[in-house]
Structure 1
Amino acid sequence: MNKLAFVFAGQGAQYQGMGKDFYENFSSSREIFETADKALGFGITSVCFEGSEEQLAMTEITQPAIVTVTAAILEAVKEKGVKPDMVAGLSLGEYSALVCSNSLKFEDTVRLVQKRGKFMQEAVPVGVGTMAAIMGLTKDQTREVCEEASIHGVVEPSNFNCPGQTVIGGEVEAVRKACEIAKSKGAKRAMELKVSAPFHTSMLQNAAENLWGELNHVNVSPMEIPVITNVTAKEVLCETQIKETLVKQVMSSVMWEDSIRYMIEQGVSTFVEIGPGKTLSSFIKKIDKTLNIMNIEDLNSFEETINKLEVLGYAKGSNSDWSNEGTWENDSVRVV
Structure 2
Amino acid sequence: MGKIGLIFAGQGAQYVGMGKDLFENIPASKEIFNIADRELGYAISEICFNGSEEDINKTENTQPAVLTVSIAALKALEEKGIKADMVAGLSLGEYSALVCSNAIEFEDAVKLVRKRGKFMQEAVPQGVGGMAAILGLDRNKIAQACEESSEKGVVSIANYNCPGQIVIAGEKDALKLACKKAEELGAKRVIELSVSGPFHTKLLKPAADKLFEELKNIQLKEIIIPVITNVTADYIGKKEDVKNLLKEQVMSSVFWEDTINKMLEDGVDTFIEVGPGKALSGFVKKINRKVKIYNVEDINSLNKTIEGLKA
Q: What's the TM-score once normalised by structure 2's chain length?
A: 0.99
Deviation at 1:254, TM superposition (A): 0.3
Q: Counterparts of 1:141-220 in structure 2 under 5 Å?
A: 141-220=141-220
Deviation at 1:194, TM superposition (A): 1.2
In the alignment, the residues of structure 2 paired with residue 30 and residue 195 of structure 1 have an alpha-carbon distance, to the nearest angstrom, of 30
Structure 1 counterpart of 2:66: 66
> AA paired with 2:175?
V
The secondary structure found in structure 2 opposite 1:94 is helix
The secondary structure found in structure 2 opposite 1:217 is coil
Q: Counterparts of 1:295-310 in structure 2 under 5 Å?
A: 295-310=295-310
User: What runs of 5+ residues in structure 1 fail to find an aligned partner?
Assistant: 312-336
Q: Counterparts of 1:81-120 in structure 2 under 5 Å?
A: 81-120=81-120
C-alpha contact (below 8 Å) 1:176/1:192 kept by paired residues: no
- Output one character per residue of 1:189-243: Cα deviation in whole Å (capped at 9) or x when no partner: 1122111110000000000000000000111111110000000000001000000
Q: Counterparts of 1:188-267 in structure 2 under 5 Å?
A: 188-267=188-267
Structure 2 counterpart of 1:332: none
> AA paired with 2:153?
G
Structure 1 counterpart of 2:54: 54
In the alignment, the residues of structure 2 paired with residue 52 and residue 195 of structure 1 have an alpha-carbon distance, to the nearest angstrom, of 17
In the alignment, the residues of structure 2 paired with residue 131 and residue 280 of structure 1 have an alpha-carbon distance, to the nearest angstrom, of 18
The secondary structure found in structure 2 opposite 1:103 is coil
- Output one character per residue of 1:248-301: Cα deviation in whole Å (capped at 9) or x when no partner: 000000000000001100011110001000000000000000010111111111
- Output one character per residue of 1:169-199: Cα deviation in whole Å (capped at 9) or x when no partner: 1110000000100000110111221111100
Deviation at 1:113, TM superposition (A): 0.1
The secondary structure found in structure 1 opposite 2:230 is coil
In the alignment, the residues of structure 2 paired with residue 306 and residue 235 of structure 1 have an alpha-carbon distance, to the nearest angstrom, of 27
The secondary structure found in structure 1 opposite 2:125 is coil
1:291 aligns with 2:291: yes
The secondary structure found in structure 2 opposite 1:232 is coil
In the alignment, the residues of structure 2 paired with residue 153 and residue 22 of structure 1 have an alpha-carbon distance, to the nearest angstrom, of 45
> AA paired with 2:184?
S
The secondary structure found in structure 2 opposite 1:14 is coil
Deviation at 1:63, TM superposition (A): 0.3
Structure 1 counterpart of 2:270: 270
Deviating beyond 3 angstroms after TM superposition, the runs of 4 or more aligned structure 1 residues are none
In the alignment, the residues of structure 2 paired with residue 32 and residue 273 of structure 1 have an alpha-carbon distance, to the nearest angstrom, of 18
Percent identical among aligned pairs is: 57
In the alignment, the residues of structure 2 paired with residue 144 and residue 137 of structure 1 have an alpha-carbon distance, to the nearest angstrom, of 11
- Output one character per residue of 1:290-315: Cα deviation in whole Å (capped at 9) or x when no partner: 0101111111110010111123xxxx
C-alpha contact (below 8 Å) 1:200/1:251 kept by paired residues: yes
In the alignment, the residues of structure 1 paired with residue 152 and residue 133 of structure 2 have an alpha-carbon distance, to the nearest angstrom, of 18
Deviation at 1:71, TM superposition (A): 0.6
In the alignment, the residues of structure 2 paired with residue 151 and residue 22 of structure 1 have an alpha-carbon distance, to the nearest angstrom, of 50
C-alpha contact (below 8 Å) 1:271/1:292 kept by paired residues: yes
Structure 2 counterpart of 1:328: none
Say what the alpha-carbon RMSD is for the aligned residues.
0.7
In the alignment, the residues of structure 2 paired with residue 265 and residue 32 of structure 1 have an alpha-carbon distance, to the nearest angstrom, of 33
